[in-house]
Structure 1
Amino acid sequence: MNEGNLANYDGTSENTWREWTPIAADYGRYKGTFDGQGHTISGLYFNDSSAECIGIVGDLGRGGVIQNVGLENSYFHVYQYTAGICGYNSGTIRNCYNAGTVIGEFIIIGGIVGAFEVG
């Protein structure tokens, strides 16, 4: 989505990166299947220290699946309930990884999943 070194971004320099809008942000409860088919997503950028439920998918509902995808060279700076793959999880996540930067201001921040309800 964006080019350049987002993974080591320090949050202070000027940038012209396009901001990522997560699938099912703000507790949208995505219940479909997101199958990356072994591909890697690169260059996602999100910088809002008051936001929550941020990731490739912001909120994965029961029955929802995220699988076979990697995230690299990305930068998320948020408030809470955030991770590279899924911010808030109630579904199934398998065969995924995150090699990007995730910074949280409060609680419940992770690499793969921020908050884990069930799944």
Structure 2
Amino acid sequence: MNNRINLKKCIVMMVFLVPVLTGGAWAYSGGSGTLEDPYQIGDANDMNKIGTHPNDWDKHFLLVNDINLAQFTGTEFNIIGPNYIVPFTGVFDGNGHTISNFTYTSSAINYIGLFGYVEGPNAEIRGVGLVDPNIDAGTGDHVGSLVGSLKNGTITNCNSIDGSVSGDGYVGGLVGEISYSTVSNSYATCNVSGYSDVGGLEGQNHYSTVSNSYATGTVSGYSGVGGLVGRNGGGTVSSSYATGSVIGDVGSDWVGGLVGMHVGG
């Protein structure tokens, strides 16, 4: 009889535990991940937990406070959508709040940014302000303070102030590479360095549109180095500008104040 009672207790406990183990809302400050009720990101731990819940990467998120990520150093921060196999396909609304001191240091990891790889017609990052990000990807490529690579997605009303971003190729102050995407009403003031396709705002613009945006940081590299865009391949840049210093390494080619290299289009 006692064994039956204990078994019933175990079953009841398991029933109550399952939602806790599989649900997403418990990991954040509120919300259910829908358009009407987005997951609420209220502190640094909430932000870091997004990267550990891939089942949530197609959901809606809303930043409800200014947050500071200084507690995460090296590779401790969990990048959201770390590569093209498991991209972030949802919507992240910064709601005009700031994310400060995002730091990531690695020797050769690709797709580095607060979001590593963002893809999809419904994928959007908006209203996010980064303050003093410091990203060093070593020989890694597709590196940006906000997004490493954006494909078929949208970035709007975002910025990255001060700090630095460095990597090997496709390196940008805000986003490393955009492909068939749109970036608008955004800017970056951080310093950017790399080897190829290096830009103050974005490293490469591939058949994409950049509008009403600017960059003011110092940009340095070897090939395809631009104050705003490193390489523009069939894309459109309008109502945008760059005012920072652009430095080409010794023997470098394709260096420009606004766009380093323009191909096609």
- TM-score of the pair, normalised by structure 2: 0.38
Structure-2 residue corresponding to 1:7: none
Deviation at 1:55, TM superposition (A): 1.0
1:53 aligns to what SS in structure 2? coil
Identity between Structure 1 and Structure 2 (%): 31
1:109 aligns to what SS in structure 2? strand
Would you say 1:111 and 2:176 are equivalent positions? no
Structure-2 residue corresponding to 1:24: 81
Moved more, 17-26 or 88-97: 17-26
RMSD: 1.6
Structure-2 residue corresponding to 1:87: 148
Greater strand share, structure number: 1
* Cα separation, 1, equivalents of 2:73 and 2:143: 20
Q: Deviations along 1:20-62, whole A, 9 cap, x unmatched?
A: 2211112221110000000010111110020111111111111
**Greater RCO, CA 8 A, separation 6+:** 1
In structure 2, give the amino acid aligned to 1:24.
G
Structure-2 residue corresponding to 1:69: 128
Unaligned runs of 5+ in 2: 1-68, 182-265
Structure-1 residue corresponding to 2:165: 102
Unaligned runs of 5+ in 1: 4-15
1:52 aligns to what SS in structure 2? coil
Deviation at 1:75, TM superposition (A): 1.1
Structure with higher Rg: it is 2
Would you say 1:50 and 2:118 are equivalent positions? no
Structure-2 residue corresponding to 1:11: none
In structure 1, give the amino acid aligned to 2:80.
I
Deviation at 1:96, TM superposition (A): 0.4
Aligned length: 106
* Cα separation, 2, equivalents of 1:44 and 1:83: 11
Q: Is residue 143–residue 176 contact of structure 2 (8 Å, CA) maintained in 1? A: yes
* Cα separation, 1, equivalents of 2:70 and 2:146: 17
Deviation at 1:113, TM superposition (A): 1.1
* Cα separation, 1, equivalents of 2:132 and 2:83: 24
* Cα separation, 2, equivalents of 1:39 and 1:54: 21
Would you say 1:33 and 2:91 are equivalent positions? yes
Structure-1 residue corresponding to 2:217: none
